[in-house]
Amino acid sequence: MAPVVAEGALASLALRALSALVLAPLVVGAILLGAPYFDLLVALSCGVLAWEWRRLCGGGPFGGVGWLLMGGVLAVVAAAALGRFMAAGVLALSVAAAVYMALARTGRATAAWHAAGVIYLAVPSVALLWLQGAAGARAVLWLFLVVWATDIAAYAAGRGLGGPKLAPRLSPRKTWAGLGGGVLAAAATGALMAPALGISTRGFLGALSALISLVSQGGDLAESAIKRRFRIKDMSGLIPGHGGLFDRVDGLLAAAPALALIELVSAGGALSWR
Residues 127 and 43 occupy one common structural domain: yes
The answer to whether residue 19 is domain-embedded is: no
The answer to whether residue 24 is domain-embedded is: no
Per the prediction, the chain carries an average pLDDT of 87
The answer to whether residue 28 is domain-embedded is: no
CA gap 125, 74 in Å, rounded: 10
pLDDT value of residue 110: 87
**For residue 6, pLDDT beyond 70:** no
**For residue 4, pLDDT beyond 70:** no
Average pLDDT over every residue of 200-222: 90
Cβ-in-10-Å burial (0-12, 13-18, 19+) of 171 comes to buried
Average pLDDT over every residue of 226-237: 85
The answer to whether residue 106 is domain-embedded is: yes
Residues 156 and 273 occupy one common structural domain: yes
Average pLDDT over every residue of 30-52: 96
**For residue 150, pLDDT beyond 90:** yes
Q: Which of 119, 134, 149 is the last residue of a domain?
A: 134
pLDDT value of residue 1: 45
Residues 91 and 171 occupy one common structural domain: no
Q: Which of 83, 104, 134 is the last residue of a domain?
A: 134
Residues 245 and 191 occupy one common structural domain: yes
The answer to whether residue 121 is domain-embedded is: yes
Residues 187 and 243 occupy one common structural domain: yes
Q: H/E/C letters for each residue in the chain?
A: CHHHHHHHHHHHHHHHHHHHHHHHHHHHHHHHHCCCHHHHHHHHHHHHHHHHHHHHHHCCCCHHHHHHHHHHHHHHHHHHHCCCHHHHHHHHHHHHHHHHHHHCCCCHHHHHHHHHHHHHHHHHHHHHHHHHHHCCHHHHHHHHHHHHHHHHHHHHHHHHHCCCEEECCCEEEEEHHHHHHHHHHHHHHHHHHCCCCCCCCHHHHHHHHHHHHHHHHHHHHHHHHHHHHHCCCCCCCCECCCECHHHHHHHHHHHHHHHHHHHHHCCCCCCCCC
**For residue 10, pLDDT beyond 60:** no
pLDDT digits 0-9 by tens, 159-196: 888 778 888 887 878 888 889 999 999 999 999 888 87
pLDDT value of residue 19: 64
Average pLDDT over every residue of 199-219: 89
Q: Which domain holds residue 59?
A: 39-134
Q: How confident is the model at residue 255 (pLDDT cuts 50, 70, 90)?
A: very high
Residues 143 and 213 occupy one common structural domain: yes
Residues 221 and 99 occupy one common structural domain: no
234 contact partners, CB below 8 Å, separation of at least 6: 227, 242, 243, 244, 247
CA gap 204, 127 in Å, rounded: 22
Q: Give the chain's domain count.
A: 2
Residues 120 and 229 occupy one common structural domain: no
pLDDT digits 0-9 by tens, 43-88: 999 999 999 999 898 766 888 899 999 999 999 999 999 999 999 9
Q: How confident is the model at residue 203 (pLDDT cuts 50, 70, 90)?
A: confident
pLDDT value of residue 204: 84
Q: Which of 76, 105, 134 is the last residue of a domain?
A: 134
Q: How confident is the model at residue 2 (pLDDT cuts 50, 70, 90)?
A: very low
The answer to whether residue 14 is domain-embedded is: no
pLDDT digits 0-9 by tens, 259-270: 999 999 987 677
Residues 63 and 190 occupy one common structural domain: no
Residues 259 and 183 occupy one common structural domain: yes
**For residue 32, pLDDT beyond 90:** yes
The answer to whether residue 29 is domain-embedded is: no
The answer to whether residue 23 is domain-embedded is: no
Residues 265 and 199 occupy one common structural domain: yes
pLDDT value of residue 217: 94
Residues 124 and 143 occupy one common structural domain: no
Average pLDDT over every residue of 12-21: 64
pTM of this prediction? 0.90
